[in-house]
Copies of this chain bind each other. A is one copy, B any other.
């Protein structure tokens, strides 16, 4: 039983492959009357697009979102919204050498075990290309959240072991790496440049903050807001860890240190990360995603071929040095989708 849908009321189903016609998403459950046009997608698609950031690939996709259904005279109708992003710059040649061997750290091996084949043209369904559809869906989700005053912002907290220390959210867009600490941002760029020259790649940590979220979102006991956010974020390919609020650090605190006091003016601290008992408490929602280094490296690696014989692999082709910062609008999108879904869930019952 496949798993290409996400959400219960604001429900998305993505489709498409990296080297096919394109990628797309059907959103079923977007309320009627919301303004939505092609232009709305431009900013987020651009932030996810390759070729704009330090260390990103030169692949040039225009990534224009076509609205195939569900919008009439500039507004959503309540019918399913189908969005499609055509693949334009598809060049399968560099991947032909990959017909036979599994790339370490990628889904080649497991897709082959599961489906009896794998997409040697660059990952197909498990390529990062799939996340373009998520970003498009996130734009629609954001349209539901905006009139509520809910704002979702993600940024680079750490990259290549360089950590943002002096965080100023207003400086995010000024950094090519969407890092809120300009000094850290510069050092991150240096590390990226150096690592790329060495044919290697880097991981990092993205932090997501949600302001303006009303209390009451999240559905006990399994669809708790933190549980749904964890799934949403972990479903993005490169993510290997999710923390809410104090996260792992909470494991080392005492109850008297970790509990957030409640005052007439709100919570006295926010180690809970804005969620108590799986339900938003009205405070800022804070989560972090640990992002692994991109597995496509320019160094020789040990692997096996389809028959299980040992092989050596050295990748050429176009690859990023880090999934950050391109993963940032993807994580924002997933968080927005969860919040829009839970807002609609809470409204109904």
**Chain A residues packing against B (C-beta within 8 Å):** 1-6, 8-11, 13-17, 20-24, 26, 28-29, 31-33, 66, 68-70, 72, 77-82, 84, 102, 104-111, 113-117, 119, 124-126, 130, 158, 161, 195, 200-205, 215-216, 218-224, 226-235, 237, 240-248, 250-264, 268, 272-273, 275-282, 290-297, 299, 301-304, 308-310, 344-349
Contact = CB atoms under 8 A, between A and B. Distances in A.
Contact of A110 (B28, B216, B222): B216
A125 to B, nearest CB: 4
A195 B252 CA distance: 13
A22 B68 contact: yes
B255 A126 contact: no
B13 A77 contact: no
A158 to B, nearest CB: 6
B68 A24 contact: yes
Nearest to A348: B348
B223 A296 contact: no
Contact of A253 (B124, B219, B293, B347): B293
A201 B278 contact: no
Contacts of A5: 5, 11, 13, 28, 222
Contacts of A230: 227, 230-231, 233-234, 242
B220 A279 contact: no
A204 B21 CA distance: 42
B109 A262 contact: yes
B231 A69 contact: no
Nearest to A238: B250
Contact of A240 (B32, B248, B296): B248
A344 B1 CA distance: 8
A259 B107 CA distance: 12
Contacts of A256: 200-201, 297, 299, 301
A21 B38 CA distance: 14
A111 B68 CA distance: 20
B347 A110 contact: no
A3 B219 contact: yes
A312 to B, nearest CB: 10
Contacts of A349: 1-2, 9-10, 29, 31, 344, 347-348
Point out which of A68, A215, A294, A299 has the most chain B C-beta atoms below 10 A from its C-beta: A68
Given A4-B220, A79-B15, A348-B349, A251 B261 contact: no
Contact of A80 (B2, B102, B216, B235): B2
